[in-house]
Amino acid sequence: MKIRGRLIIAFLFVTIFPLALIAVSYNVILTNQASTLEDDYQSDISSENLLLNPIHILSTATMTDFRNLVHVADTNPDLLIRRDYLDKSNSDLSGRFSFIVVRKGGQEFYIGNTKAYHRLNPLPGFRNFEEGYTDTISIDNGYLVKQKDFYLSSHEYAQLFLVTDYSEILPRWRELIRQLMISGALILLGTAALLVVWLYNGIVRPLNILQIATMQIGAGNLDTPVRVNSTDEIGELCRDFEEMRIRLKEMIEERIRYEQDTRDMMSNMAHDLQTPLTSIKGYSEGILDGVANTPEKQEKYLRTISSKANDMSYLVDQLSIFSKVEQNSLPYHFLDFPLDSYFTDCIEAISLDMETKHITMHYENTCPKDTKIHADPEQLKRVVINIINNAVKYLDRSEGNIWIRLSELPVKQPSAPLYRQLNPDGTPLETNSEFPVPEHFIQIEIQDDGPGIDAEALPHIFQRFYRADASRGSSKRGSGLGLAIVARIIEDHGGRVWADSTPDEGTSIYFTLKETPQTDTTENK
C-alpha cells in the first residue's frame, strides 16, 4: 500500500472509525440504561432524554401516576382521604422511588415516607383556583414534587403531593456519563494504539531497517540484507537499496578479483617475458662470444632470437588488445568480404609459421563459394591466430594437426552451455544451452588433436585471466588473455563462442559470424 493510501486510511481511522465506535457504544449503553429505567418506572424513556435531561425522565415517568391521582381528586376527592386507598397507591409508587403526601385543612393527613418527608423543605400551602392556579411541579432538595390542590365534598380544602426521589436516578446518570467517557477514551486509545502499530510496521520499522543497513554499509559491511515486505514507496526504496547493496557488493568483490587477477596476470606476463628474454640474452651472448662459430649455428641462433622476439611481441600485443577490450575502445572496421578467399589467405599466412612448429593445417569449407561475411578482417584474423596459438601452446608434442572447418549454419550443437566473456561478477555467464540456429550465420570450427581440456575447466576457458595449465597437463604458462579476447571480439561481432573437448583427443573451439545476405537481382515483372 502506498504512503498516500496509508495516510488516507489513518485519517479515516482517527476520525470516522472512532466516532462510529463511540456512537455504537454510546447507543448500547444508553439503550441498556433506558431499558433498566423503563422496567423500574414502567414508562417509556428515551435514551436522548436520559443523557440530556434525566430530571425530565422522572417527571415523565411518574406523570401517569400523577394524572390518575389528579383524576381521582377531580371526580372522587374523598377517595384521597381513605387510608386503604392511599396505602395501596403509595405501595405501587414505592417501586418508582415515589410516595404520597396528603394534607387536609392545612394539616398533614397522610405521609407515605416519613423519613424522606422530613428531608423536604416545607411543602407549599393551598392556592386559590381563582388566581389561575394549576397543577405544579417543583424541585425540592433532591426531590421532584408534583402538587394538586382540591376540595373535598365537604368543601374542605385539601392538597395532594406526589414526591419522587431523583437522587436514585442521578447516580445512574453519573454512572452513565462515566461509562460513556471511559468507553470513548478506550476507543480513542485503542484506535490510536492500532494506528501507531500499523504506521510503525509500515513506515517507521522499514526506515529503521534501512538506517541500520546504511550504517552497516558506511562501516564497510555489505553483508547485511535489507528485508522489507511492504509494497509502498518505502518498501520500493528498501528494495532499490537492497539491489544497490548487492550490486555494490558484487562490484567490490569483482574489483578484488580483478585486482588479484591483474596481479596474477602481471606475474605470468613477467614470467612469460622473462623466458624469451633469457633465451634472447643467451643466444645473443653465444653469438658475441663466438660460440656460434659456423654459419649454420649463427643462423639457428638468429632464428631462435627472432622467434623469441616474436613471442614477446605477441605477449605485448595481447596485453595491449586486452586493455582496449576492457575499456571498450577496441577499434572495428566492418566490411563485407568473401568467406572462402579470406580464410584461404589467412591459413596460408599462418601455415608458414606452423610449419616451423611442425603443425599441419587442414581446411574444409562446405559453404557456397560466393558466401560473404560481415566482419572486421583484422580482428577476425586475431581471433583465428589466438585460437591456433592457444592450441599450439598446449600441444606438448613435436607435431600436431589443426583443422579449420566452415559451415553455412551451426551444425554442431554445444554439449555444454554457452559462455560469454564479460559478466558482472567476473565469472562466465551461462546462457540457454539450446543453441539457436539463426539465419545468415556461418559457423567456424578450429579443432586440434592436443591433450584436451578437463570438463571442470572447460566452462572457464573464455574467462579473463583463467589458465587451464594444470588441466591440460602442460608445463607451459599462459597469460589467460587469448581466449578472453576471442570471446569479446566474437560477441562484438554479434556471434557466440563455445568449446567442446575430449581428454587425450583434442579440443574444438566454435564461433559464429554473420553472413552477408545475398542480394536478389531478379526483377519482378
For residue 352, pLDDT beyond 60: yes
For residue 157, pLDDT beyond 70: yes
What pLDDT digit, counting tens, does each position of 263-276 carry? 776 777 777 778 88
Tell me what pLDDT residue 64 has.
Answer: 81
What pLDDT digit, counting tens, does each position of 186-240 carry? 767 777 777 777 666 666 777 777 777 788 777 777 777 777 766 666 677 777 8
> How are beta strands 143-151 and 157-165 bridged, if at all?
antiparallel
Tell me what pLDDT residue 138 has.
Answer: 59
Question: Which residue from 489, 430, 6 is spatially nearest to 231, judged by alpha carbons?
Answer: 6
Average pLDDT over residues 485-510: 89
Average pLDDT over residues 438-453: 85
For residue 160, pLDDT beyond 60: yes
Contact predicate 366/407, CB 8 Å: yes
Distances (CA, A) of 64 to 2, 93, 265: 62, 11, 111
User: What whole-number percentage of the chain has pLDDT above 70?
Assistant: 69
Residue 483 phi/psi, 5-degree rounding, is -75, -30
Q: How many Å apart are CA 15 and CA 22, to the nearest integer? A: 11
Which 3 state secondary structure label does DSSP give 215?
helix
Residue 387 phi/psi, 5-degree rounding, is -65, -45
Q: Dihedral sign for Cα 105, 109, 111, 115, please.
A: positive
For residue 278, pLDDT beyond 90: no
Average pLDDT over residues 56-81: 82
Pick the range with the lowest mean pLDDT from 2-6, 334-338, 420-424, 457-461: 420-424
Write down all domains in the chain, each with its CATH number in brackets.
Answer: 333-514 (3.30.565.10)
Q: Quote the distance between the C-alpha of residue 327 and its chain's center.
A: 35
Question: Which residue from 448, 433, 444, 431 is spatially nearest to 392, judged by alpha carbons?
Answer: 448
Assign 524 a pLDDT band (cuts: 50, 70, 90).
Answer: very low
- Neighbouring residues of 77: CB distance < 8 A, sequence distance ≥ 6: 150, 151, 152, 153, 158
What pLDDT digit, counting tens, does each position of 17-45 carry? 666 666 666 566 556 665 665 555 555 55
